[in-house]
Structure 1
Amino acid sequence: MHSESARPEDNTQSSPVRWRPLSKVERRVAGVLIEKAKTTPSNYPLTLNAVVTACNQKSNRDPVMHLDEETALAALESLAADGAVGIVQGAGRVEKYRHYFYDWLGVTKVELSVIAELLLRGPQTLGELRSRVSRMDKIADLGEMEQLVEGLIGKGLVRYLRSTGRAKIVADLLYSTEELERLEAKYGADSAVSRSEDSGVRPPSTQASVVGQLQERIEAQAREIESLKADVAYLFRELGLKRPEHEATDTQ
């Protein structure tokens, strides 16, 4: 499930890194190619139809998209022009698509899984990332997850949108400048509040901004709860234990 054919793992740093910001559709297409290469290698490379189906699936996607073949093809061709995607001939001369993101980004096997999850779901907490990345490459604990993120920060590929408190928020840097600024404004809204609480001084703010900051905290806590539920479900599966029916229903 986690193997990828023709993966020159030892050569990840041999080629110059040449990544650029990606559009929303390119992000989804890129995430899909990486994901499917890892989770369903027997069906990889992907046909255009398979790419579209995977882009539009409802599970493991945020937001859910409704791409057509023309839109997906344009993104594939754009990525291919920059060397991130390759086109191969499948059975019956059907064109199929594979990725070259290891060399394009200059990352390792597990690092690419982290990038894939960020491309498919957007900014996430460390706990969310660990549980979700583990479906492609197992992450032992949050400590290992944090080390991976720090390594990607060093490569200029990810950053913390929120680096304090219990729910650190991680985002990749393959967004456009405008989109990244929007995310920074959204997820970094509690930074000033955290600093002011430490100093005992509350910054001036409108009622709307306070409500927005509280809402961000509630959403972060909700994400953390979902991540913990996923961790528990993973442990039950690993240990071969059967969960109580009401708990199994709650995690779905």
Structure 2
Amino acid sequence: MSADANPAPAQPQPTPSPAQPPAPTWEPLTPLERRILGVLVEKQKTSKSADSYPLSLNALWTGCNQKSNRDPVMDLSDDDVDQGMLPLQKRGLAARITGGRVERFRHNLYDHWTRNGAEMAVLAELLLRGPQTKGDLRVRASRMDPIDTLDALEEILRALVAKRLVIYLTEPDRRGAVVTHGFHHPDELAKLKAHFASSPASAALADIGGAAPPSRSGGSSEAVAALESKLAGAVEEIDALKARVAALEAALGEVRKPSAPPAA
């Protein structure tokens, strides 16, 4: 019998691993849209009462123009903020709540970006301040969601980078590595990458306004930040009280309406 009559048994072929779906590409956000979404997430995470969030237009406007925890500082009108909400509503990223005495606004980002609270805090901080070193980002985002160590932040960043929600502007392992959010326009992102490639991270951040120079009056700046935070909270509480008073006045008006005379 020839050798061809007894062919060797076929070797089992390895099962190909399922192809990983490509990471999504996110539609860019304008600076105003980034600020609005960052404020909505920040206030949702830091508000101390149900009356403070969702935000009234006045509270959202105050948060957008806040001088602490913002870069750049903006000088927006309430109409700017109101108009800036419209494209976010169309894309489902934020919602306008009507039906009460005061319109209110909230974000829908847990349905679109991530359901992880710490990941959302990191994204909000990047939307509010732009590019940051990992060390600064951990400290700043921790005011919204605890991130105890740089290792914990690294784990969060790995998940966000995999979804292209966060982008490294420098080599990830470089000392003082800088990250940003994934919602820049391509031209803007290319300029940022070129800028950080040609300058040390600290100098590059200072050039784009991402880091303030050291100040001897640190206590004063902290006091100003604390006062601004209290002011924003007071505005939210005042809006909530106004809504309650309006509801009580409406209810009282119904009670005071004269009853119909009895039928003869």
Give the TM-score normalised by structure 2: 0.66
- Paired residue for 2:44? 37
Distance, in Å, in 2 between the alignment partners of 1:169 and 1:90 is: 43
Cα displacement string for residues 71-123 of structure 1 (whole angstroms, at most 9, x for unaligned residues): 1111111100110111113642x110011011121341110100000000000
Identity of aligned residues (%): 39
Written as runs of structure 1 = structure 2, the 5 A alignment for 1:157-196 is 157-163=165-171, 164-190=173-199
Return the match for 1:138 from 146, 160, 163. 146
Indicate whether 1:51 and 2:39 are aligned.
Answer: no
Over aligned residues, Cα RMSD in angstroms? 3.0
Letter in 1 for 2:81: A
- Paired residue for 1:74? 83
Distance, in Å, in 2 between the alignment partners of 1:119 and 1:56 is: 14
Distance, in Å, in 2 between the alignment partners of 1:81 and 1:160 is: 29
Return the match for 1:216 from 185, 204, 208. 204
Letter in 2 for 1:176: H
Distance, in Å, in 2 between the alignment partners of 1:178 and 1:18 is: 15
Return the match for 1:249 from 219, 242, 261. 219
Letter in 2 for 1:143: D
Indicate whether 1:121 and 2:109 are aligned.
Answer: no
Letter in 1 for 2:61: V
Residues 29 and 51, structure 1, Cα contact 8 Å, conserved in 2: yes
Q: Aligned in 2, Cα 1:127/1:248: closer, same or farther, shift over 3 Å?
A: same
The alignment covers a number of residue pairs equal to 195
Residues 65 and 76, structure 2, Cα contact 8 Å, conserved in 1: yes
Q: Aligned in 2, Cα 1:48/1:250: closer, same or farther, shift over 3 Å?
A: closer
Tell me the CA shift for residue 251 of structure 1: 7.9
* Structure 1 unpaired stretches of 5+: 1-16, 192-212, 230-245
Cα displacement string for residues 21-49 of structure 1 (whole angstroms, at most 9, x for unaligned residues): 10110000010000000011521001111
The higher relative CO (CA closer than 8 Å, separation ≥ 6) is in 2
Q: Aligned in 2, Cα 1:124/1:115: closer, same or farther, shift over 3 Å?
A: same
Larger Rg: 2
Residues 18 and 104, structure 1, Cα contact 8 Å, conserved in 2: no
Q: Aligned in 2, Cα 1:78/1:223: closer, same or farther, shift over 3 Å?
A: closer
Distance, in Å, in 1 between the alignment partners of 2:133 and 2:202 is: 17
Distance, in Å, in 1 between the alignment partners of 2:124 and 2:205 is: 25
Higher helix share: 1
